[in-house]
Structure 1
Amino acid sequence: MRFTLSSSVLNSRLQTLSKVINSKNPLQILDCFLFECQDGELRVTASDNENTMKTTIHLDYQEGEGRFAIPNRTILDAVKELPEQPLTFNIDTNNYMVTICYQNGEYNFACQNADEYPLPVNNLDGQTVLTMKSAILSDSISRAIFATDNNEVRPVMNGIYFDLTTENLSIVATDGHKLVRNINFELRNDVPASFILPKKPATLLRNSLAKDDSEVTICFTSRNAQITFGDTTIVCILIEGRYPNYNSVIPTDNPNILTLDRRTLLSAIKRVLPFASASSQLIRFNIEIGKVEVSSEDIDFSTSAKETLICDYGGQKMSIGFRGDSLIEILNSLDSEEVSIKLADPSRAGVIVPVTQPENQEILMLVMPMLISD
């Protein structure tokens, strides 16, 4: 078997697929990429036995068909330093040897029989199909993934929840201390359906999706999902279980609204956070009409810091505390110039929203307050 393809295209696809492969696998064959050559195309697959990612590359030349598996480190190291040029693969399927010919040189190494490579059982009977723009899905995942948990007791909190109703699609993540809800009003379904996407395939999607209007198709059941975009497909096992009622924890009446420049607030928090207690990461907001003082202190080490920012605020005077690292993650995940922080009192959750919402979307971030002493 023999085929030719672009070195840069192969390297780019392999770098993306390599994120699927674990450092330690239950099966040795999962340390490999599966190569399948057929009908002028090369299909390359990577798997960790729960998540499978497959991409298709057009071949410039093909002679013969077949399947083989190549150790991931061998092929990654072989192609990553090559400039753009044609690569010709010669595969001896009797002895499972590979020769890669390139300009001024060649590689020779062993491959493996592909018959042992496990392919996902993708039973999508009774599936629900969801189609959305690549940029919107990528942005939604990027905004939500930081709020997922690492909880062995409640694994449903470890993923991103897709809640498709007759009115909209909500993409939600929470760890119990912070929550992200991204509503898309363009997407709906006649029959409500939902799934919990694990963190690993969510990360693969965030790093792979194009920031454009190309379409992503998600076919899902209660157990697994198949996500297709461009020449790439991800098949993954979903997290089973009932996701918490996220809407019930979002306050609907927070009358005290603080509005200010997002980057200004983010920079101030970054400056005062190093002076906060390392264990609590507590940042205090002292808010009054027209201004907010952002401060921190560590009594054990006698350190403190504070800054005063100009803001738009007409509510009651208030002192409230939040984890600084959570605020930084929230503000980093937003794009708008200004944000509004909606508050009720120092014991109730604060709601952070962008002043300018994306078209046909509603973004909301929630952060729980911390106890502060006077």
Structure 2
Amino acid sequence: MIVLKATQDKVLAALQSVAGIVERRHTLPILANVLIRKTGGQLQLTTSDLEIQIRTTAELGGDEGNFTTTIGARKLIDILRTMPADQTVSLESSASKLVLKGGKSRFTLQSLPAEDFPLVQEAANFGPVFSVPQKTLKDLLSQVSFAMAVHDIRYYLNGILFVAEGKQLSLVATDGHRLAFSSATLDVEVPRQEVILPRKTVLEMQRLLSDAEGAIEMQFANNQAKFSFGGMEFVTKLVEGKFPDYNRVIPKNHKNTVTLGRAPLLASLQRTAILTSEKFKGVRLNIEPGTLRIASNNAEQEEAQDELDIDYGGDTIEIGFNVTYLIDALSNMDQDMVKIDLADSNSSALLTIPENASFKYVVMPMRI
């Protein structure tokens, strides 16, 4: 039976959309495979790593009929990549093997039985469906994902908190030294739901979401989240645990405020960052009426100093920060201006966008 027959670019796009979560080495060999299910003229591709499952449906020609099998995902992609985009490729089943043909090339690949493929058990009681445009979610993720922890022992920090309440969807990420918060408006009212999406899920979602028109539908259960967009269905386990109360972390009514251009500040920080020591990425900020001085030094006793003219009339403050935390936030914003609220040299700083309450970034000071 001819399972699929289409041009290389179509087949490759469908495979790549699901293959991001496939691990090359896994305790279960079948998890390196993609589950192919043909129903009539429709082809369904499914991959899983036991925690995340991605499924896409595509029309890729071939014979009509019912057929299921699993085949090594990476190998199939590697072979397809070496063929021209307009090459017609076909996949045929013969006994327990699959034959991939394209032009004068022919590859016979081993398959594993579909019934051995461990599908994720979907939760029985998902909450109500709500949706946002794909681009909105993509932007929200990019505004907070850099602040996620990596391999933190507090496992609930290795991901992003999604909070849906009323008509607002908020995303929060923190690694204990900084916290990023971003929010968007929903089209329907939803009851309050809080879930923590794992780091791997977040990175995969960022890869798959596009700026294309079209909404992404979300549903949350106790231990699972489900996303549907652009012909794909994405089911993931959630991180258990209690996320810190982010409202307590976000400073209120700091009395000193400075608004300045994002690009000049970012450029200045990138310059001074060159002379910070590898281990200790500290920069000193001296803020006084009219001037912001940024300085750094390293173990070789080299020094960098930079000055920016600012519109400021508050207290004189000297405060130290990990320069990477400031650069991360500024390079993930696309606005022209940034507003910084400070209290004193021992309190955390709040970065926001002027006249816009949807993004907040809190960074702890460091002693220098």
CA displacement at 1:307 relative to structure 2 = 0.7
Distance 2:187 2:203 in 1: 22
Question: In the TM superposition, what is the alpha-carbon distance from 1:286 to its structure 2 partner?
Answer: 0.8
1:51-110 CA-to-partner distances (Å, cap 9, x unmatched) read 111111112332432111111232011101222232221111xx2121222223322222
2:177 maps to 177
CA contact (8 A) 1:336 1:354 kept: yes
SS of aligned partner of 2:240: coil
Q: What is the CA–CA distance in structure 2 between the aligned matches of 1:231 and 1:20, rounded to whole Å? A: 18
Q: 1:208 to 1:167 in 2, by over 3 A?
A: closer
CA contact (8 A) 1:164 1:189 kept: no
**Most deviating of 148-157 and 25-34:** 148-157
Cα deviations by residue, 1:288-329 (Å, 9 ceiling, x for unpaired): 12221111011x311110111122222111111110111111
Q: State the shift of 1:223 in Å.
A: 0.4
Change beyond 3 A, Cα 1:283–1:124: farther
| 2:165 equivalent in structure 1 | 165
CA distance in 2, matches of 1:314, 1:104: 75
User: Are 1:128 and 1:221, in contact at CA under 8 Å, matched by a contact in 2?
Assistant: no
Alpha-carbon contact 2:138-2:209 (below 8 Å) kept: yes
The correspondence of residues 336-355 of structure 1 with structure 2, limited to 5 A, is 336-355=335-354
Listed as ranges, the gaps of 5+ residues in structure 2 are none
Q: 1:11, CA displacement in angstroms?
A: 1.1
- Partner Cα separation in structure 2 for residue 90 and residue 150 of structure 1: 43
Q: How does 1:1-374 map to 2 (within 5 A)?
A: 1-2=1-2, 3-83=4-84, 84-92=86-94, 95-166=95-166, 168-186=168-186, 189-298=189-298, 300-355=299-354, 357=356, 362-372=358-368
Shift of 1:188: 6.1
Structure 2: distance between partners of 1:144 and 1:242: 18
Measure the CA separation in 1 of the matches of 2:227 and 2:185.
Answer: 21
- Alpha-carbon spacing, 1:189–1:156, altered in 2? closer, same or farther (3 Å): farther
Aligned residues: 366
> SS at the partner of 1:127?
coil
Name the SS for the 2:63 alignment partner. Answer: strand
Which consecutive unaligned segments of at least 5 residues does structure 1 have?
none
- Give the % identical residues: 28
Root mean square deviation of aligned Cα? 1.7
**TM-score, normalising length: structure 2:** 0.95
TM-score under structure 1 length normalisation? 0.93
